[in-house]
Structure formats: C-alpha cells, structure tokens
Structure 1
Amino acid sequence: MVIYNVTVNVDASIHQDWLVWIKEHIPQVLSTGKFNRATLTRVLLDDNSGAFTYSIQYRAHSREALDDYYKDHAEGLRKAGAEKFADKMLAFRTELEFIDEYSVDFE
C-alpha cells in the first residue's frame, strides 16, 4: 500500500474557511476511487507565526491507483484549493510506503 501524504500550512486568516473546505475536499478525492481511506490530522507545532499545519493521509489501493490519480484527477483537485486560497495556503506532498501496523488492546 502507498500512502499519499499532503501537508498543508494554512494562514490563520483563512483557517476556519479552509477547515470547512478541506472536510468537503477529502470526500471528493476519495470519490475518485483511487483511495480507500483518508485521515485528517493537525500537526502539533509550537509555531509563533499563527499559522496552522495539517496532514492529510490518503491510503491508495496500489501504486497504480496513485499513478492513475496523478494522471486523471490531481491537477483539477489541486487547482480548486489554489484558486480559492491562493498564497494563504502552502501544500507539499510526499509518498509513503506502508510497511506494517501495530496496535495494543487494553483490557
């Protein structure tokens, strides 16, 4: 499995509007059929700039599914956020290879 991670730094002036938007945007990305799950997390930073940083992790069905997403969907979906928030939002993307997952059950 490949995880497509999008880290976004959001200016405080648009933070609430962006949060509403991203919660609508994530289902749009999932509706492409290339991912089976997404997680939205806030990065906990001691940042005096007033900005907020988030990570959205999309779990792709396969490497091929992620490549198809790039080819068929990514540009249009990225453009929507860039047009709406311009320079008040900065995103960078990384790909992660899923190796294993562990959990502990407490009784």
Structure 2
Amino acid sequence: MILYNVTVSIDESIESIWLRWMKEDHIPKVMETGLFVERKIFKLLSHEQEGAITYAIQYFANSINHINEYQEKHAEALQSEHTEKFKDKFVAFRTMLEHVD
C-alpha cells in the first residue's frame, strides 16, 4: 500500500469554503480517476503558522504505478484548478510513503 499525502496550509479566513470544496469537488475528482482505493482527511492539531489551518489529505493506492499514473495523467489539471481557486491563500506539499509492517 502506498500513501500519497498532500499537506495544505490554508488561510483560516477561507477554511470552511476550502474544506467544503475539497470534500464536494476536488477529492471526488481525484477518487474518480480510479487510481486510489481510499482517502482520509486529517486536521493538524498543532499550529505552526499563525493565521493558517493545516490539513493532510491522504490518498491510498495499491501500487506506486497507480500514483505515477495519477501524476502523469491527472495531477497537473487538478492542482491547477486548486491553485486558481485559492491563489495566494495556501501552501501545499506532497509526499509518498510506503506501508511497511
């Protein structure tokens, strides 16, 4: 199992608008690609940056190939849509983690 984690610090003034859009629009589009089997949203409880709220959106894939396909075929358009809608109101970074037991 591979975790594709997107950490987003969003300006607190638009948090509720952003979160609703993520749940109703963006995340469903990511899941509709068929490349992820599950998703979770976490809100960070410790705040490092005043005026911003940080979330971790986690997408789970069965293989690194699915994440590579997502990045090659879908990520740019979906990330551009997010950037256009919330320009100058967020900072994001992405990480990939492999489950080891």
Bin the TM-score by the shorter chain. Answer: over 0.9
Q: Does 1:78 align with 2:76?
A: no
Partner residue of 2:39? 38
Q: Which runs of 4+ in 1 moved over 6 A?
A: none
Higher alpha-carbon deviation: 66-75 or 19-28 = 19-28
Q: Which runs of 5+ in 1 are unaligned?
A: 101-107
Task: Tell me which structure has the larger Cα radius of gyration.
Answer: 1
Query: 3-state SS of the aligned residue for 1:87?
Result: coil
Aligned positions, number: 100
- Partner AA of 1:20 in structure 2: R
Deviations 1:59-79 (A, max 9, x none): 012111110000000000101
- Partner AA of 2:90 in structure 1: M
Query: Normalized against structure 1, the TM-score is what?
Result: 0.88
Q: Which runs of 5+ in 2 are unaligned?
A: none
- Partner AA of 1:93 in structure 2: R
On the 8 A contact 2:47/2:54 being kept in 1, the answer is no
Partner residue of 2:64? 63
Partner residue of 2:3? 3
Once the two structures are TM-superposed, the CA of residue 19 in structure 1 deviates from its matched residue by 0.7
On the 8 A contact 2:5/2:95 being kept in 1, the answer is yes
Computed over aligned residues only, the root mean square deviation of the Cα atoms, in angstroms, reads 1.2
Q: How does 1:48-59 map to 2 (within 5 A)?
A: 49-59=50-60
- Partner AA of 1:8 in structure 2: V
Once the two structures are TM-superposed, the CA of residue 47 in structure 1 deviates from its matched residue by 4.4
Partner Cα distance (1:97, 1:3) in 2: 6
Q: Does 1:28 align with 2:16?
A: no
